[in-house]
Amino acid sequence: MAGNKGRGRAAYTFNIEAVGFSKGEKLPDVVLKPPPLFPDTDYKPVPLKTGEGEEYMLALKQELRETMKRMPYFIETPEERQDIERYSKRYMKVYKEEWIPGSKPKKAKDAGKGTSLTRTADVLKKIEELEKRGDGEKSDEENEEKEGSKEKSKEGDDDDDDDAAEQEEYDEEEQEEENDYINSYFEDGDDFGADSDDNMDEATY
Amino acid sequence: MWMDEIALRLPSTMTQAEIKLCSLLLQEHFGEIVEKIGVHLIRTGSQPLRVIAHDTGTSLDQVKKALCVLVQHNLVSYQVHKRGVVEYEAQCSRVLRMLRYPRYIYTTKTLYSDTGELIVEELLLNGKLTMSAVVKKVADRLTETMEDGKTMDYAEVSNTFVRLADTHFVQRCPSVPTTENSDPGPPPPAPTLVINEKDMYLVPKLSLIGKGKRRRSSDEDAAGEPKAKRPKHTTDNKEPIPDDGIYWQANLDRFHQHFRDQAIVSAVANRMDQTSSEIVRTMLRMSEITTSSSAPFTQPLSSNEIFRSLPVGYNISKQVLDQYLTLLADDPLEFVGKSGDSGGGMYVINLHKALASLATATLESVVQERFGSRCARIFRLVLQKKHIEQKQVEDFAMIPAKEAKDMLYKMLSENFMSLQSIANLIERRQFETKENKRLLEKSQRVEAIIASMQATGAEEAQLQEIEEMITAPERQQLETLKRNVNKLDASEIQVDETIFLLESYIECTMKRQ
């Protein structure tokens, strides 16, 4: 059986003094919202320094932030698959230089995925091709590291090269834009209009 | 040693603050993948490639890319361990230095003007570069800003580069050692990079001939929006690189030495006068290359030498100089000390003492601003009292362990709070930007439209119409956002100045133990 409440008056089920209120003291108002995120402080902060140097560094900082995002060292997270491929996406691609660590040109040494992964040396291999694949699969070609040139394989080659991957991407785009037809239109050896009843090529009588 | 005791007593939250800040910095500069790998290494210490991939649940390919970026930027190093396992290790403190990039670059501007500024900027943005690459990039960038028809000569950029190397602001990166008698056995899985002290600032004999090239204007439209299609342009990627394998980086320690000197000179100017500060500046300049970064004081300099080294046009007599030196040496702050009588008097700058004073002043200032003048007065009295008790001890190096410990602990705590502040500042800035993302994007689009319309010669009325696409309240909102972001950014830079002073003292003190 529950304890009786005094008629019309609530009694605390715990010792109110333990929480810090003396008996009979007026309790603070009910709080209807969370406390402010940035409450006022007694002492206001010192104003920021101003001057030519400070202004310049501020502008520099903001500029650097933007520049870094466009550099090849900024690795974008692979996008999640989109349900609908938006047309505008093609035109919003940001141009980025590819950075391939290592200044030596690609050697046609074979290293299939299998063999390179089973190599005993745990090394940072030269990444030959940073082709972006839609589903983020690993790059196909991993070359053997060049002995004694690991340092180089880590250094950026900073000439403004259009590398192979980029060329491909670019050419593809160029081709796509040169004709007005969707490439899939004539897939699978369809003969356009061959089986169609609406044969517009022939004159209708 | 009691240093370890201090480290243990510190709340583990200090490391948390550092890690949080590193995470934010890596994410802003290199994206989330690099951030994930970098933070993981900071947390776990040294690890091999496969363990990183496994523990972070990241593909090997991604880990490699991330490590490439981190190693390129001197944020991660590697070492071959026994059984040929290569392990990667992150340098947390180096990651935090990214906050200071604007200061490094601006400082170079004040010392070596625009050319120097861009050299250091390119080195910081790219981590490591060959001299020829730097010269080309900087020449191109400078040419962009010049009048039509004018170009920047490679030779001029090279000269500035050499000056930066001579004064140690840039240095060579460790490189693969040349093996004369190569061991016919299998090569090591990773090279051990070395650099000879005497080679560190040695500029390769290059004859870089050329001029900067302007980018073609079709690369980006007026508003800076990059087009999806990048037109092919003639590249000189087939030219051989004359200094292949010789990479350069910015020498951050040298900048820190400069900042320290600046702070000391400024303190002397505030406390005494311009002339005193110029004398101190001269002494520091004379000691630049001869004093190691952790030295407690500079090499002794004679009054005669100092007199000869005063800046040209600074007309004070030898007697006046001697008077100033005496005053400086007698000052209770003890920035300058007298170490002998030969050569007209031998003087040193007490670097450690100076750093301690600067750090203490910083602390006092923080107490004052955060807790009010009364607290500051108490704080100062306590510090002074301790100092008075120690007056009996002649050699300042014999500070009793307890006082030094307390002092160090205070510095470390304040340092931790500063790091935490910066992390908060960054988070707030990112939050504000995200809140207003839609409006920012709209504003950028409108600007782009206006810019392209202006380029095609649109009428004033048309431009007005487009501008009005942004309503007045929206404009207000953008103004407020810009003001807030500027404040937050500026705060980051200025809190980092505090961190610099505190860490300089901490580092100096740690090394002496």
Residue B470 has pLDDT above 70, yes or no: yes
Q: In angstroms, rounded to a whole number, what is the distance separating the alpha carbons of residues B171 and B164?
A: 9
How do residues A14-68 score in pLDDT, each as one tens digit? 777 766 666 666 777 777 788 777 677 777 778 888 899 999 999 999 999 999 9
Mean pLDDT of B280-284: 95
Closest residue of B to A171, CA-based?
Answer: B229
Confidence (pLDDT) at A129: 42
Mutate to test the interface with A, among B64, B95, B425 (most CBs of A within 10 A): B64
Q: Does A181 touch chain B (CB under 8 A)?
A: no
Confidence (pLDDT) at B206: 80
Confidence (pLDDT) at B177: 78
Q: Between residues 122 and 161 of chain A, which touch chain B (CB distance below 8 Å)?
A: 122-125, 127, 130, 136, 138-139, 147-152, 154-156, 158-161
Q: Does A62 touch chain B (CB under 8 A)?
A: yes
Q: In angstroms, rounded to a whole number, what is the distance separating the alpha carbons of residues A164 and A110?
A: 18
Average predicted confidence (pLDDT) for chain B: 85
Closest residue of B to A99, CA-based?
Answer: B69
Question: Among A167-171, B58-62, B134-138, B339-343, which stretch is predicted with the lowest mean pLDDT?
Answer: A167-171
Confidence (pLDDT) at A193: 44
How many Cβ pairs closer than 8 A exist between chain A and B? 176
Higher confidence at residue B171 or residue A4?
B171
Residue B218 has pLDDT above 80, yes or no: no
Q: In angstroms, rounded to a whole number, what is the distance separating the alpha carbons of residues B248 and B127?
A: 8
- Tell me the pLDDT band of A176, cut-offs 50, 70 and 90: very low
Higher confidence at residue B369 or residue B238?
B369
Closest residue of B to A76, CA-based?
Answer: B31
Higher confidence at residue A3 or residue A112?
A3
**Highest mean pLDDT range out of B45-49, B192-196, B451-455?**
B45-49
- Tell me the pLDDT band of B467, cut-offs 50, 70 and 90: confident
What is the percent of chain B where pLDDT is above 90?
52
Mutate to test the interface with B, among A44, A49, A113, A151 (most CBs of B within 10 A): A151
| CA angle B203–B204–B208, rounded 5-degree value | 105
Residue A5 has pLDDT above 70, yes or no: no
Residue B254 has pLDDT above 60, yes or no: yes
Mean pLDDT of B219-225: 43
Query: Residue A160 is nearest to which of B72, B101, B235, comparing CB atoms?
Result: B235
Higher confidence at residue A13 or residue B310?
B310
**For residue A89, which residues of chain B lie inside 8 Å, CB to CB?**
none
Which residues have a Cβ under 8 Å from the Cβ of B352 and sit 6 or more positions away? B296, B297, B396, B508, B509, B512
- Tell me the pLDDT band of B59, cut-offs 50, 70 and 90: very high
- Tell me the pLDDT band of B83, cut-offs 50, 70 and 90: confident
Confidence (pLDDT) at A86: 67
Q: Do B61 and A138 touch (CB under 8 A)?
A: yes
Structure-token pair, residue B165: 């190397």
Question: Among B68-72, B230-234, B453-457, which stretch is predicted with the lowest mean pLDDT?
Answer: B230-234
Confidence (pLDDT) at B64: 93
Q: Do B129 and A158 touch (CB under 8 A)?
A: yes
- Tell me the pLDDT band of A137, cut-offs 50, 70 and 90: very low
H-assigned helices in B218-297: 252-271, 274-287
The b-or-e profile of B464-473 (16+ CB within 10 A means b, else e) is eeeeeebeee
How do residues B425-437 score in pLDDT, each as one tens digit? 999 999 999 989 9
Q: Phi first, then psi: what are they for A168, rounded to 5°?
A: -60, -50
Confidence (pLDDT) at B75: 96
Q: Which of B512, B510, B456, B493 is nearest to B105 (CA)?
A: B493
**DSSP string across chain A:** -PPPPPTT----SS-GGGGTPPTTPPPPPPP-SPPPSS---SSPPPPPP-SHHHHHHHHHHHHHHHHHHHSTTSPPPPPPPPSS--GGGGGGPPP-----B--SPPP-----HHHHHT-S------B------TT-PPPS-BPPPPTT-HHHHHSB--S----HHHHHHHHHHHHHHHSSS-GGGGGGGPPTTTS-S--TTSPP-
Q: Which of B321, B252, B217, B259 is nearest to B110 (CA)?
A: B259
Residue B230 has pLDDT above 80, yes or no: no
Min CA distance, B405 vs chain A (Å)?
29
Higher confidence at residue B455 or residue A91?
B455
Q: In angstroms, rounded to a whole number, what is the distance separating the alpha carbons of residues B11 and A168?
A: 54
Q: Does A11 touch chain B (CB under 8 A)?
A: no
Q: Does A74 touch chain B (CB under 8 A)?
A: yes
Q: In angstroms, rounded to a whole number, what is the distance separating the alpha carbons of residues B278 and B466?
A: 56
Min CA distance, A112 vs chain B (Å)?
14
Residue B384 has pLDDT above 70, yes or no: no
Q: In angstroms, rounded to a whole number, what is the distance separating the alpha carbons of residues A91 and B453?
A: 19
Q: Do A152 and B176 touch (CB under 8 A)?
A: yes
Confidence (pLDDT) at A123: 45
Q: In angstroms, rounded to a whole number, what is the distance separating the alpha carbons of residues B28 and B368?
A: 33
Mean pLDDT of A70-96: 71
- Tell me the pLDDT band of A171, cut-offs 50, 70 and 90: very low
Residue B351 has pLDDT above 80, yes or no: yes
Q: In angstroms, rounded to a whole number, what is the distance separating the alpha carbons of residues B172 and B255?
A: 15
Q: Does A178 touch chain B (CB under 8 A)?
A: no
User: pTM of the predicted model, to two decimals?
Assistant: 0.73
- Tell me the pLDDT band of A156, cut-offs 50, 70 and 90: very low
Confidence (pLDDT) at A148: 32
Query: Residue B106 is nearest to which of A57, A75, A147, comparing CB atoms?
Result: A57
Q: Do B245 and A76 touch (CB under 8 A)?
A: no
Q: Do B190 and A156 touch (CB under 8 A)?
A: no
> Any idea which residue has 């392209």 for tokens?
B452
Confidence (pLDDT) at B183: 63
Query: Which amino acid does the sequence have at B43?
Result: R
Min CA distance, A64 vs chain B (Å)?
8
Q: In angstroms, rounded to a whole number, what is the distance separating the alpha carbons of residues B376 and B260?
A: 25
Min CA distance, B513 vs chain A (Å)?
35
**For residue A62, which residues of chain B lie inside 8 Å, CB to CB?**
485, 489
Confidence (pLDDT) at B124: 97
Mutate to test the interface with B, among A38, A50, A71, A73 (most CBs of B within 10 A): A73
